[in-house]
Structure formats: structure tokens, C-alpha cells
Amino acid sequence: MKFTTFVTSKEDILACAAAPNLEEVLIEPTQLSREGRLSLEEAESLAKEAAQHGLKPTLVWDILMTETEFATRSKLVAGMNLELFTAIRTQDPGAAVWVRENAPGTPLQLVVENSNHNMPALLRWVAELRPQRLVLSTQLPEDKLIACCQQLDTECEVLGAGKILLFYSKRHLLQANFGNDEDANDSHWIYADSSSEESASRPFPTIENEHGTFMYLNKDHFILDSLARLDAAGMHTIRIDLRDPQVDGHAAQGIDTVCAMTVSNDPGLDTVWTRPTSAPFFKRNKTDKQFARMKPQTRLLRDAKCVAEVVSVERGELLGLFTLREFDTDGASYKFVAHDGSELPAELESFSDITGNPLTRCSAHQVVRCSWIKGVKAGAILVRDEPV
Amino acid sequence: MMKPELLAPAGSLEKLKVAVLYGADAVFFSGQKYSLRARADNFTLDEIAEGVAFAKRRGVKTYITLNAFLHDEDLEGLGEFCQFLDAQGVTGVIVSDLGVIDVIQKSSKLNVHLSTQASCLNSASASFWKSQGVERIVLGREVSIREALEIKAKCGLEMEMFTHGAMCMAYSGNCVISNYTAGRDSNRGGCIQSCRFQYQQASPDKGCSSESFFMSSKDMSGLEHIPEFCDAGIDSLKIEGRMKSLFYVASLCRAYRKAIDIYTAGEDYAAALPELQAEVNSIPHRDYFGASFSKPAGMLSVFQDRQGTIRSGTHQFTGVVLEKSDRFAAVRLYAPMTQDQRIEIVPFRGEPIPVQATQVYDLTGNRLASPRQDCVVCIPLDEQLAQVEALNIVRAARV
């Protein structure tokens, strides 16, 4: 298992060169990368520096781009000396296609972190774009990550430690509160902590730059102390992200220590990582478990057995039903099912239409009057009570 | 001139029928699984069959949303569901996830449209999706009309753009705040709308703090841009809002139906615009803005008010006509009526019919002075109300 990390300076390169199992560095030009702080020239210069220290430099082009931006940014990439880079990392499928068509000799690292969570999708990304590597989601639990390593015919990477991106918008959302005239330029960078009324004790680091606004979880993802199974399964690369969005400077200081302690399973590793940490989905992802409770209990009963909905209750006198399909008013057994799923037997009689004509059979989409039943409320449904 | 399709949301079977009857060319809705609106009523299999048949009889297309980003275990049953949809004759499915596309293509012949949730923003990306068998792109809401035209010209796919409704502040599919703060997967239908919360912000380097709704977007309205959409040859104009009311669906279908028809008929669109805007202002909404239709959404696109202060609209949703007999219109009330309130019954075509509700009866035949909500009232029909039909919306001007 290898490590990768972001670099912004020669000092970072030196730290990476000293780090065990770290053979690759991620270089982010401002104009191409979400959190880039380097000019294109600086990026190229840093790539040369990395190569001189035996490190493989990967160009990070991970912004999303509308058509106009895509035309501009792809021209910039075309103008770069791509031979300096051993791979290009993209998220936008358009950028991936561009790399495939215009830099066929440069391996593609495809970021599929944003909600690519099933094997058919991942297999197809690999089959169609033939990436050197897939950068997998932190929402995939360990067992799924292991399955990816075993089933995908490409290198797999996952974040081992670092910021979790929660929100990526094209709009500039901090300028209104924190900007000034200088912040209108392309290289501006605004930082703020944002705490919502629902999470007052959790300030989410938020940045705005030329690419839009990015919000991060208040805790770093951290699984560096739990890599054994992933390593055994063949996880190719673990990304360690030491970038501090508040600081424009080095991005990999201390990477040698973190890598060394990870490799040696040093129990003191979590004390070296000073920011609060979490890995909420590494063991299990249960982010769909609440869904069943979010629906009215009657929803799934609206099938062929559901014949009407209660639309009016005249207490002590009658119920108004709106029929959903034809049904006989006698000879069948019915029950009412309320929003909360509770049931009441429906001993209905005295059916009539809205003008008072008696009914023995109700048509579909008709308002029907029938006898009042205590406890039945508007919104309840009338269901044929057939044995299961 | 090519008329763009008017595509309306149908969060329930009743909303589907209302959308169709008020002029939608196509409707989008979902089953109980695989979609992004876990809290919407959505459709049972029987309701899907009924909804598709209802739409087909009127020449209206049906698209089923399968636009959640699924985990492996969520894929269970998807193939069978696609076969069911295929058998019903749905026009297409709206999908975000390449794995879902894979299952669809292996189990059915359904047309695949790429959901806006996949944030397809440029022609190279569109070309990739075309190579995957996608026939239409629902573009990311960051794309301008001019860019959409370019993308269409370069990739040759049908282009669909959202033209009205609430919108994500993030690139769609690129917000997971709910996942990490509430344990609900926003990309599987569990979004808690964290972007609508108020945030306390502090900037250490700027030395200041602020309270604001900085992530809450105004609602988009493309009414002013209908000529540009039509001239650009955008294939489908979509109204957001499967969770919204019957009133919302009816009012927007009416407004956008008229807008498209007026412009493509070569009539004076500028002259018609105030009346069309009045229609979209009749429903509850956040402040409207022109999204990124002509220029990127800027700082003025943020809706700084609480959700509770959403503009209430010029009209109140009073009810819906459930049935018309030879003597009465039976109206289900969603809001109480006041004594002698002046209401309007909104026909599928034509001007709203004013009704002075002096004679309103409950189902027992008793005359009501001030009917409560959540009941059915009967309004006697007269000559003026002869054109009232079932599923007409009833509204009242707010005082």
C-alpha cells in the first residue's frame, strides 16, 4: 500500500521524499483545482522538483466546469507540459474524456468520490474510461472498499486522513459577508467557519475561491489506524491530506512522520493528528435507515385493494369518500387505515352520491356519502379487507 | 419554430392528472424506490400503471425518476421494476448513476435521460454520457442557455433544462451535508435541506462574523427567458417540485403552457409577460431569479429570509374540484373559507371563473357559512360554472 498527498512547495517535496511508501504527489494549479494555490508555471516547476526526488507528480484537474469554463480550462491544460506529470486526476467526466482524447499517453486518475457507491457503476467507469486509478468514496464501508480492491481491474485509492468535502457550489457565497474589492479577482481566497442553527457546536470550515464555495466537515476523516484489511485486500493508495484551508503555504509538512507512524502501526498516531477525527461510514453506512419512517404508513397500501380515501367527516352524520376505483357497497369486507397505520373495521352502509341517490356500486373518481364511523378521520383510506 | 416540451412534476397520481390537464407535455414521477424524494407520496405499481395510461390517452409523455445514487443493496429489484416500466410503456427514465444505467440497459429497452443530479455541465461530459446510451441530458443548473445550445450542437443529444422552482445551491449530487450531520443520504432521497438553515459565520483572518442564510438559493424562474429557450432549441423545459402542492403544479403548468404557446405562435410575448408573471406569483415561492440562464448566478441569488417567510403568493390554495354532477361541483377544501368569500375556479384553459361563495353546502346538505378545511363542500352549478371540470383548482385572492 502506498501513500499520496498534496504538495505546494519544495519543502513539501522534501518531506514527501523522506516519507516511507510515498511515491506520488498531487499538484494543484489554482486554475484547475478546487483548492489549488499554484500558478501553472509553479505547478510545472514543482512537478520537475518532485521528479528529481524520485516522486511521481500527478496534475490535479478536479473542478467541475460549464461549457465556457471547460473550453478555457482545457486550453490551459493543453498548453501545459504534460510530460512533467505521471497522471492527471479529474472528477468532471468531460475532463476525463479530454484527457483520454488529448493526452492518451497520460494515465487518468478518476475521482468517483461523489456518490458512486455500487459495483456496476464502478466496473463501468473502469471499462469505459480505463483509468489508471479510481478515487473511491469515503462513504463506502470497509467491506465494500475491500470488494472494490478485489473486483476492479484498476488501482483503488481512498482518503486515509483529511478533510471531508460536504458541499461544492459554483456560487461565491462568502463574498457578501466577508469580501472586499480585492476579493473580486480570480485568485481570491476567503475562509470562514460556518455553524448552522442545527449544529451550533460544529463549525464547518468553509472557503470561497474562484471556483466557488466549499464546505468541509468539522472533523477529519481518519482511518490510518485501521488499514490492515484494506492493505491485505490490495488497496493501492491511501491519500493523506494535510492541507489547511486557512493557511497558504506548505501542504505536506509532517507527512514523513505520519507515513512512518502509519507504516509501523504506531499507537501514537492519533495524537499526532491534532484535528478532531471521525470515520462515520467506515464500519457501516446506514444513511438510508430513516427513510421507511419518513412515509405515511398508508402509502404502500394504495394498490388495487385501496378503493377510496376519506375526504370529509361530518361528525355523527356521515363520511365523504372519494373513490379511487369501482367497488360494490355490499358483499365485500372493508377496513379503514389511518395515516399512522392504525386500522378500523368499516361497517359501511347507506351509500349515496352527492345528490343523495342511493348507490349499490360506486364508480371510480366519485364523491360518495356513507354512514359515519367514530374514529375515522379525513385522509384515512378504505381498503378491501381480504385475507392475506 | 420547435416547441419545447413542458415537463411537470407529479409527486402523486392526483398531481400527475392535474399536470396533464393543465397543459404539461410530459410528466416525471417515481415509484416507491430508486428516486430522490423519499418523503414524497410517490406511486405504487398500480398507480404507475394508471398514471401512464392516463397520460398516454392524452398524448403526454411519462418519465420515471430513478435518480438516486444507489448502493449495491439498493439495486435489488431494479431490473424487475424496469421491466415493469417497459411493459407499461413509459417514455423514459431519468437516471444519475452509471450503475443504474447498467441495470436498466441489461433488463429493458427504456430510454435513458441523464438526471441533473449527475451535474453534466459541458459537451465533453455529454459526449461521454451519449457513449453510455443516454438520449437526453438534464443539464446542471449552472449551465446557461447559450452553453446548452453549444452542448447540443456538439453532442447531438436532446437537452432538458430546469426552468422553474427551488434549486440546490451546490452542484447537484455534490452535497452530502445531510449524510454527515443527520445520517440521511441526500443522494438517496434523504436531504434535510441544510442549505436552508441559518448559519453563524466567523472569519478569523477577516476578523468579523455574521449570521445569514448564505447557502439558501432563491427560486429560479425562466418565464422571462422563454424566447431564448425556444430560439436555442432546448428540447424540454422542466418545472421542479414533486413535493409541491396541486396548486403549484396547476398554476405553473398553466403559466408555462401559455408562455410557450404564445411565443412559438409568434404573438407578442413581452405584452403577455405581466399576466404570466402574475400567475407564477400566485403560488408560494421564494424570491425569483434568473438562475444562470443568461449569466452565472451571483451574490443576489441568495435568499436571505427564513423558510417561514417564503412569499405566500397572491392567492391561497382553497381546494380542488373532485367531481362535477349535474347539480353540484364537489370541492375538497385545503383551506377554510370565510363567509361570502370570493373564490376562483381555475379552468384548464381560459380565464379563472369568479364565484361568490354565498351558497356552499356540506355533504349532509346543510348550508355552510364558513367551511373548515379538510372537508368536501358542494357548490351549486349555474350557467357561469358550466365549464367547471373535475380536478380544476380553486383559489382565493389573498386580501
| pLDDT one-digit tens code per residue, B118-148 | 999 999 999 999 999 999 999 999 999 999 9
Q: Determine whether the interchain pair B201/A285 forms a contact, defined as Cβ–Cβ distance below 8 Å.
A: no
Q: Kindly determine whether residue B70 and residue A93, on different chains, have CB atoms separated by under 8 Å.
A: no
SS3 A60: strand
How many angstroms separate the CA of residue A367 from the nearest CA in chain B?
7
User: Are the CB atoms for B143 and B225 separated by under 8 Å?
Assistant: no
Q: Are B27 and B67 in contact (CB under 8 A)?
A: no
> What is the dotted CATH code of the domain comprising B5-188+215-309?
3.20.20.110
> What confidence score (pLDDT) does residue B42 get?
86
Q: What angle do CA A102, B129, A103 make, to 5 degrees?
A: 10
pLDDT at residue A388 greater than cutoff 60: no
Strand B219-221 with B158-165, pairing: antiparallel
For chains A and B, CB pairs below 8 A equal 304
Strands (E), A67-226: 87-90, 108-111, 133-135, 155-162, 165-169, 189-196, 204-209, 212-216, 220-222
Buried b (16+ CB within 10 A) or exposed e, B280-293: bbbbbbbbbbbbbb
Instruction: Please give the CATH topology (third level) of the domain spanning A295-384.
Output: Elongation Factor Tu (Ef-tu); domain 3 (2.40.30)
Is A67 within 8 Å of B143 when comparing Cβ atoms? yes
> Mean pLDDT over all residues of chain A?
93
A302 close to B (CB below 8 A): yes
> What spatial distance separates the first Cα and last Cα of chain B, rounded to whole Å?
41
Q: What is the pLDDT of residue B208?
A: 76
pLDDT of residue B211: 87
From the list A10, A299, A78, the residue with the least C-alpha distance to B124 is A78
Any idea which residue has 499520496 for its cell? Answer: A4
State the pLDDT at residue B308: 47
A285 in contact with chain B, both atoms CB, cutoff 8 A: yes
In angstroms, the CA B191 to CA B37 distance is: 9
Strand partners, B354: B344
Pairwise CA distance, residues A47 & A55, whole Å: 9
Q: Which portions of chain B are predicted below pLDDT 50?
A: 308
Residue from B318, B368, B379 nearest A314 by CA: B368
A215 touches chain B (CB under 8 A): yes
Select from A121, A174, A322 the Cβ nearest to the Cβ of B99: A121
Residue ranges of the domains in chain A?
2-164+219-278, 165-217, 295-384
Q: Cα–Cα distances in Å, from A291 out to A308, A371, B38? A: 26, 36, 6
Question: How far is B175 from A169, CA to CA, in rounded Å?
Answer: 8
pLDDT tens for A232-290 read: 999 999 999 999 988 878 999 999 999 999 999 999 998 889 899 999 999 999 998 88
Tell me whether residues A94 and B121 touch, CB distance under 8 A: yes
Helix (H, G, I), strand (E, B) or coil at A241: coil
DSSP summary character for residue B98: H
Q: How high is the pLDDT of residue A197?
A: 82
Sign of CA pseudo-dihedral A66, A71, A74, A79: negative
* Cell numbers describing residue B382: 349555474
Q: What is the pLDDT of residues A140-152, one digit of tens each?
A: 999 999 999 999 9
Report the C-alpha gap between B387 and B31 in whole angstroms.
Answer: 34
Asked if B67 and B117 count as a contact pair (C-beta separation under 8 A), the reply is yes
pLDDT for A185 equals: 66
CATH of domain A2-164+219-278: 3.20.20.70
- Look at A230 and A298; give whichever has higher pLDDT: A230
Q: Of the candidates A168, A195, A299, which has its C-beta nearest B199's C-beta?
A: A195
| A348: nearest Cα among A362, A366, A335, A357 | A335
Distance of residue A55 Cα from the nearest chain B Cα, in angstroms: 31
According to the model, what pLDDT value does residue A182 have?
60
Query: Helix, strand, coil proportions of chain A in percent (round to 5)?
Result: 25, 30, 45
- Domain ranges (residues) in chain B: 5-188+215-309, 315-397
CB A179 within 8 A of CB A171: no
Q: Which of A129, A168, A171 sits opposite B174 (nearest CB)?
A: A168
Torsion over CA of A276, A112, A260 and A8, rounded to 10 degrees? Answer: -80
Cβ of A103 under 8 Å from any chain B Cβ?
no
Residues 18-47 of A with CB under 8 A from B: none
In this prediction, residue B307 carries a pLDDT of 53
Is pLDDT above 50 for A297? yes
Give the pLDDT confidence score for residue A298 in this predicted structure: 76
Q: Which three cell numbers stand for residue B226?
A: 422563454
Residues in chain B: 399
Q: What ipTM describes this predicted complex?
A: 0.95
Which of A64, A65, A67 to mutate to probe the B interface, most B CBs <10 Å? A67
Q: Which distant-in-sequence residues (6+ apart) come within 8 Å of B297 by Cβ? A: A170, A171, B142, B217, B289, B291
pLDDT digits (tens, 9 = 90+) for A44-99: 999 999 999 999 999 999 999 999 999 999 999 999 999 999 999 999 999 999 99
Using a pLDDT cut of 90, give the percent of chain A over it.
79
Instruction: Provide the pLDDT confidence category of residue A102 given band limits of 50, 70 and 90.
Output: very high
Closest-CA residue of chain A to B186? A287
Fold classification of B315-397 (topology level): Elongation Factor Tu (Ef-tu); domain 3 (2.40.30)
> In this complex, do B44 and A366 lie within 8 Å of one another by their Cβ atoms?
no
d(CA B44, CA B50): 10
Which DSSP state fits B171? P
A198 and B147: CB-CB below 8 Å? Answer: no
